[in-house]
Structure 1
């Protein structure tokens, strides 16, 4: 019951944060006030969600003790794999299918970060951590037992892709599946979260070069 309550509070934090932008826009709050509020709330929500993860304790397949070697290994595998998947899909879309690969979500966030640099704390750090906790540790992990690992990956990845509301649905679907794999193999939610952060930083760095 305690763990379920913590998960519900975690989901509530994520859902509230996901609609804050809409509420602020409806109130005609823009500029620094808009992005400042979202950044501050995301930092608070991230800290709260990490606290709830620690308070909940390990789930049934996470390692009882921290393994530094395993952690570093899967962080590197996760980050490199995520970047290679993006490169591979971009090659297929552009080179073979001649499909435009511009992500509306990424382009919009890059523009926002250029205007409000502190917003990168949310986009590049807080968002990946919260997404891993919600879509991997809650949805994916909790769906394994009542279904199976493959169905759990599919459901959590579809939800992950849907929440991004981007035209490049497939890339988010694949990223969701990949980070499920990293979490499952590393048995540490912070390994997949760190991989996710590194991937975001690399993509952001390449986008501004």
Structure 2
């Protein structure tokens, strides 16, 4: 793995662990929730700036290329959004009706609760997070693995790591499957910008969908899905 990718991964890990540095300050601040959100946005933005610096040669190469194929990028990004959307639905159905896992990601709910209280947090979910994750998990990790093994195993391993980082192990299948789709987009287009756009789009779609629904309605929908699950499973 090139050194710049190692530095990229270290930067991402440091960003994820940076909250530990903020703990001493949180207890002394009048509004700790706002401080925590501001700290998260600042550290994500700083990590992205540092990551782009490490990849500055590849970024500049893209802008120097005369044939950027913008139309192809847009087409594949739209297709990628659709593929991720369908994959997510299929994975959730399998988790629910095959493995008996309750629908609804706790990780997503926690992020949405923060976004409702501090809308600026949406920039992490819709922009900063997707860009960083694609640079780390697809470009650095998957890209390095794919040089040593076939697509399926490289995408699977990087997808599992991507899923584990989200700390929502009950939905490991969903996150892994989504990660594999992003890897497919990267391989097919040979441009990391495509899975980045698709990732940003699906996250933004989820944010809009979640914020437009009252939290009580979400709970009611989850209960209805659980009842349907019991009916179907009980019918076997």
TM bin (shorter chain): 0.7 to 0.9
Q: Matches of 2:144 and 2:94 in 1, distance apart? A: 33
| Cα pair distance change 1:188/1:56, threshold 3 Å | closer
Q: Identify the residue that residue 228 of structure 2 maps to in structure 1.
A: none
Aligned to 1:143: 145
Change (3 A) 1:48 1:113: same
Does structure 1 conserve the Cα–Cα contact (< 8 Å) formed by 2:125 and 2:204? Answer: no
2:224 maps to none
Q: Which residue of 1 aligns with 2:177?
A: 174
Further displaced range: 20-29 or 139-148: 20-29
TM-fit CA distance, 1:134: 0.5
- Which residue of the partner structure matches residue 192 of structure 2? 189
Q: Which residue of 1 aligns with 2:57?
A: 55
- TM normalised by structure 1 equals 0.88
Given the superposition, is the C-alpha separation of residues 137 and 58 from structure 1 closer, same or farther in structure 2, using an over 3 Å criterion? Answer: farther
Q: Note the residue ranges of structure 2 that are not aligned, 5 or more in a row.
A: 213-236
Q: Distance in 1 between matches of 2:164 and 2:75?
A: 29
Q: Matched residues in 2 for 1:156 and 1:76: separation?
A: 23
Q: List per-residue Cα deviations over 1:73-112 (Å, max 9, x = no partner).
A: 1101111111111222233444565531111100000011
Report if aligned partners of 1:139, 1:156 keep a CA contact under 8 Å in 2.
Answer: yes
Residues 11-44 of structure 1, C-alpha deviations (whole Å, 9 max, x = no match): 1210111112344346545311111011012112
**Which is higher, the Rg of structure 1 or of structure 2?**
2
1:43 aligned to 42, 45, 55, which one? 45
Structure 1 unmatched ranges of 5 or more: none
Q: Give the secondary structure class of the aligned counterpart of 1:73.
A: helix
Question: TM (normalized to structure 2)?
Answer: 0.78
- Structure 1 stretches (4+) deviating beyond 6 angstroms? none
Whether 1:71 aligns to 2:69 is: no
For residue 186 of structure 1, report the CA deviation from its aligned partner. 1.4
Number of aligned residue pairs: give it.
204
How much does 1:49 deviate?
A: 1.5
What RMSD in Å do the two structures reach over aligned CA positions?
Answer: 2.3
The question of whether the paired residues in 2 share the 8 Å contact of 1:6 and 1:56 is answered with no
User: Per-residue CA shift, 1:144-183, capped at 9, x if unaligned?
Assistant: 1222222211111111011111031111000110100011
Match of 1:7 among 5, 8, 15: 5
Shift of 1:58: 9.3
Residue 56 of structure 1 deviates from its aligned partner by: 4.4
Equivalents in 2 of 1:54, 1:80: separation in Å? Answer: 30
1:87 pairs, out of 86, 89, 92, with 89
